[in-house]
Amino acid sequence: MKRPSHRRRKEARPGEIGAAALGMFVEKGFAATRLDDVAARAGVSKGTVYLYFESKEALFKAAIEAAMTPAVEAVEALANDAGRPAADLLRCFVADWWRMVGSTALGGMPKLLVAEAGNFPEIAHWFHDSMVRRAQKAMARIIAAGVARGEFRAADPDLTARIFFAPMFAYVVWQRAFGEAMCELPPPQEFLGTTVDLLIHGLANPHPVQDPRP
Protein backbone atom coordinates (compact mmCIF):
# COMPACT_ATOMS: atom_id res chain seq x y z
CA MET A 1 0.00 0.00 0.00
CA LYS A 2 1.31 3.42 -0.95
CA ARG A 3 2.25 5.53 2.06
CA PRO A 4 1.17 9.19 2.15
CA SER A 5 3.90 11.57 1.14
CA HIS A 6 5.71 13.73 3.66
CA ARG A 7 4.27 16.81 1.96
CA ARG A 8 0.72 15.55 2.29
CA ARG A 9 1.30 14.73 5.95
CA LYS A 10 2.70 18.22 6.54
CA GLU A 11 -0.28 19.88 4.88
CA ALA A 12 -2.67 17.89 7.06
CA ARG A 13 -0.85 18.73 10.27
CA PRO A 14 -2.62 22.03 11.15
CA GLY A 15 -5.98 20.28 10.86
CA GLU A 16 -4.81 17.38 13.01
CA ILE A 17 -3.50 19.76 15.66
CA GLY A 18 -6.72 21.77 15.54
CA ALA A 19 -8.88 18.66 15.96
CA ALA A 20 -6.79 17.54 18.92
CA ALA A 21 -7.00 21.01 20.44
CA LEU A 22 -10.77 21.20 20.05
CA GLY A 23 -11.17 17.97 21.98
CA MET A 24 -8.87 19.20 24.74
CA PHE A 25 -10.59 22.58 25.05
CA VAL A 26 -14.01 20.96 25.35
CA GLU A 27 -12.80 18.39 27.88
CA LYS A 28 -10.64 20.64 30.07
CA GLY A 29 -11.61 24.22 29.29
CA PHE A 30 -9.45 26.94 27.81
CA ALA A 31 -7.41 27.79 30.91
CA ALA A 32 -6.59 24.19 31.84
CA THR A 33 -5.60 23.08 28.35
CA ARG A 34 -1.82 22.89 27.94
CA LEU A 35 -0.17 23.00 24.54
CA ASP A 36 2.05 20.11 25.64
CA ASP A 37 -1.09 17.98 26.01
CA VAL A 38 -2.45 19.14 22.64
CA ALA A 39 0.86 18.23 21.01
CA ALA A 40 0.86 14.80 22.63
CA ARG A 41 -2.68 14.09 21.47
CA ALA A 42 -1.85 15.24 17.94
CA GLY A 43 1.33 13.16 17.91
CA VAL A 44 3.66 16.12 17.36
CA SER A 45 6.11 18.15 19.42
CA LYS A 46 5.15 21.36 21.19
CA GLY A 47 7.51 23.19 18.85
CA THR A 48 5.50 21.91 15.89
CA VAL A 49 2.34 23.43 17.38
CA TYR A 50 4.08 26.80 17.50
CA LEU A 51 5.11 26.45 13.86
CA TYR A 52 1.46 26.78 12.90
CA PHE A 53 -0.12 28.70 15.79
CA GLU A 54 1.52 31.60 17.57
CA SER A 55 -0.46 31.22 20.80
CA LYS A 56 -3.07 29.12 22.56
CA GLU A 57 -5.69 31.74 21.69
CA ALA A 58 -4.75 31.55 18.00
CA LEU A 59 -5.01 27.76 18.15
CA PHE A 60 -8.41 27.99 19.84
CA LYS A 61 -9.78 30.31 17.16
CA ALA A 62 -8.37 28.24 14.31
CA ALA A 63 -9.76 25.01 15.75
CA ILE A 64 -13.23 26.52 16.19
CA GLU A 65 -13.22 28.12 12.73
CA ALA A 66 -12.19 24.88 11.03
CA ALA A 67 -14.84 22.84 12.81
CA MET A 68 -17.73 25.30 12.89
CA THR A 69 -17.49 27.24 9.62
CA PRO A 70 -19.07 24.41 7.56
CA ALA A 71 -22.08 24.41 9.90
CA VAL A 72 -22.46 28.18 9.74
CA GLU A 73 -22.17 28.14 5.95
CA ALA A 74 -24.78 25.37 5.76
CA VAL A 75 -27.40 27.39 7.64
CA GLU A 76 -26.49 30.51 5.66
CA ALA A 77 -27.20 28.50 2.50
CA LEU A 78 -30.64 27.66 3.89
CA ALA A 79 -31.32 31.37 4.34
CA ASN A 80 -30.56 31.86 0.63
CA ASP A 81 -33.16 29.27 -0.42
CA ALA A 82 -36.10 31.47 -1.41
CA GLY A 83 -38.09 28.67 -2.99
CA ARG A 84 -39.07 26.75 0.16
CA PRO A 85 -41.54 27.59 2.95
CA ALA A 86 -39.88 29.34 5.87
CA ALA A 87 -41.24 26.76 8.32
CA ASP A 88 -39.48 23.96 6.42
CA LEU A 89 -36.25 25.95 6.39
CA LEU A 90 -36.42 26.49 10.16
CA ARG A 91 -36.83 22.75 10.72
CA CYS A 92 -33.86 22.08 8.44
CA PHE A 93 -31.88 24.76 10.28
CA VAL A 94 -32.39 23.03 13.63
CA ALA A 95 -31.65 19.58 12.18
CA ASP A 96 -28.42 20.84 10.59
CA TRP A 97 -27.40 22.63 13.78
CA TRP A 98 -27.80 19.49 15.85
CA ARG A 99 -26.08 17.22 13.31
CA MET A 100 -23.08 19.51 12.72
CA VAL A 101 -22.76 21.28 16.08
CA GLY A 102 -24.87 20.06 18.99
CA SER A 103 -24.10 16.35 18.59
CA THR A 104 -20.36 16.90 18.01
CA ALA A 105 -17.48 18.19 20.11
CA LEU A 106 -18.65 21.71 19.22
CA GLY A 107 -21.68 21.09 21.41
CA GLY A 108 -19.35 21.58 24.37
CA MET A 109 -18.55 25.17 23.44
CA PRO A 110 -21.53 26.87 25.16
CA LYS A 111 -20.66 25.20 28.48
CA LEU A 112 -16.99 26.15 28.06
CA LEU A 113 -17.88 29.77 27.36
CA VAL A 114 -20.32 29.99 30.27
CA ALA A 115 -17.56 28.75 32.56
CA GLU A 116 -14.71 30.89 31.20
CA ALA A 117 -16.16 34.01 29.58
CA GLY A 118 -15.46 36.08 32.67
CA ASN A 119 -11.75 35.25 32.56
CA PHE A 120 -11.40 35.36 28.78
CA PRO A 121 -13.96 37.91 27.54
CA GLU A 122 -12.18 38.56 24.25
CA ILE A 123 -12.43 34.91 23.25
CA ALA A 124 -16.10 34.78 24.25
CA HIS A 125 -16.84 37.92 22.23
CA TRP A 126 -14.97 36.54 19.24
CA PHE A 127 -16.94 33.28 19.32
CA HIS A 128 -20.24 35.12 19.65
CA ASP A 129 -19.55 37.63 16.88
CA SER A 130 -17.80 35.29 14.44
CA MET A 131 -19.94 32.19 14.81
CA VAL A 132 -23.11 32.59 16.87
CA ARG A 133 -24.23 35.91 15.37
CA ARG A 134 -23.67 34.65 11.83
CA ALA A 135 -25.99 31.73 12.51
CA GLN A 136 -28.53 33.95 14.27
CA LYS A 137 -28.54 36.35 11.33
CA ALA A 138 -29.16 33.45 8.95
CA MET A 139 -32.15 32.36 11.01
CA ALA A 140 -33.38 35.98 11.15
CA ARG A 141 -33.29 36.12 7.35
CA ILE A 142 -35.45 32.99 7.14
CA ILE A 143 -37.95 34.50 9.58
CA ALA A 144 -37.94 37.84 7.74
CA ALA A 145 -38.66 36.06 4.45
CA GLY A 146 -41.56 34.23 6.08
CA VAL A 147 -42.97 37.51 7.38
CA ALA A 148 -42.57 39.19 3.99
CA ARG A 149 -44.42 36.33 2.25
CA GLY A 150 -47.23 36.30 4.78
CA GLU A 151 -46.34 32.87 6.19
CA PHE A 152 -45.52 34.41 9.55
CA ARG A 153 -47.14 37.23 11.47
CA ALA A 154 -45.24 40.48 11.95
CA ALA A 155 -42.34 39.90 14.35
CA ASP A 156 -38.84 41.21 14.90
CA PRO A 157 -36.73 38.62 13.01
CA ASP A 158 -33.47 39.31 14.84
CA LEU A 159 -35.04 39.28 18.30
CA THR A 160 -36.96 36.09 17.49
CA ALA A 161 -33.78 34.36 16.29
CA ARG A 162 -31.89 35.40 19.43
CA ILE A 163 -34.69 34.09 21.65
CA PHE A 164 -34.84 30.82 19.74
CA PHE A 165 -31.12 30.20 20.14
CA ALA A 166 -31.40 30.39 23.94
CA PRO A 167 -33.05 26.96 24.48
CA MET A 168 -30.76 25.31 21.92
CA PHE A 169 -27.71 26.53 23.81
CA ALA A 170 -29.27 25.76 27.20
CA TYR A 171 -29.92 22.18 26.12
CA VAL A 172 -26.29 21.41 25.29
CA VAL A 173 -25.11 23.13 28.49
CA TRP A 174 -27.45 20.99 30.60
CA GLN A 175 -26.51 17.89 28.63
CA ARG A 176 -22.76 18.43 29.02
CA ALA A 177 -22.90 19.61 32.62
CA PHE A 178 -25.30 17.09 34.13
CA GLY A 179 -26.04 14.37 31.60
CA GLU A 180 -29.47 13.60 30.21
CA ALA A 181 -30.40 11.17 32.99
CA MET A 182 -29.44 13.42 35.90
CA CYS A 183 -31.51 16.43 34.82
CA GLU A 184 -34.20 14.34 33.06
CA LEU A 185 -33.57 15.89 29.67
CA PRO A 186 -35.73 14.63 26.82
CA PRO A 187 -33.88 13.15 23.84
CA PRO A 188 -32.41 15.87 21.60
CA GLN A 189 -34.70 15.21 18.64
CA GLU A 190 -37.76 15.47 20.91
CA PHE A 191 -36.53 18.61 22.64
CA LEU A 192 -35.47 20.40 19.47
CA GLY A 193 -38.51 19.25 17.51
CA THR A 194 -40.85 20.61 20.18
CA THR A 195 -38.86 23.85 20.38
CA VAL A 196 -39.02 24.51 16.65
CA ASP A 197 -42.72 23.58 16.56
CA LEU A 198 -43.41 26.14 19.29
CA LEU A 199 -41.49 28.76 17.31
CA ILE A 200 -43.29 28.02 14.05
CA HIS A 201 -46.74 27.93 15.64
CA GLY A 202 -45.98 31.12 17.55
CA LEU A 203 -44.98 32.85 14.33
CA ALA A 204 -47.79 31.43 12.19
CA ASN A 205 -49.93 34.04 10.51
CA PRO A 206 -53.59 33.41 11.48
CA HIS A 207 -54.55 34.89 8.11
CA PRO A 208 -51.84 33.60 5.75
CA VAL A 209 -51.34 35.41 2.47
CA GLN A 210 -51.72 33.25 -0.62
CA ASP A 211 -48.35 32.86 -2.35
CA PRO A 212 -48.79 34.36 -5.85
CA ARG A 213 -45.96 32.30 -7.31
CA PRO A 214 -47.03 29.41 -9.59
Q: What pTM value is reported for the model?
A: 0.85
The pLDDT of residue 68 is: 92
pLDDT score of 180 more than 70: no
**Are 78 and 96 in contact, with CB atoms under 8 Å apart?**
yes
Kindly indicate the confidence band of residue 213, based on its pLDDT and cuts at 50, 70 and 90.
low
The pLDDT of residue 185 is: 84
CB atoms within 10 A of CB 54: 10
Average pLDDT over residues 204-211: 74
48, 36, 104, 142: CA torsion to nearest 10: -60
All domains of the chain, ordered by start, with CATH? 65-203 (1.10.357)
d(CA 113, CA 103): 17
Amino acid identity of residue 106, one-letter, is L
Cα dihedral sign for 72, 74, 75, 77?
positive
Q: What is the pLDDT of residues 98-129, one digit of tens each?
A: 999 999 999 998 888 888 888 899 989 999 99
Average pLDDT over residues 27-40: 93
The pLDDT of residue 103 is: 92
Calculate the average pLDDT of the chain: 89
**Are 110 and 173 in contact, with CB atoms under 8 Å apart?**
yes
pLDDT score of 11 more than 70: yes
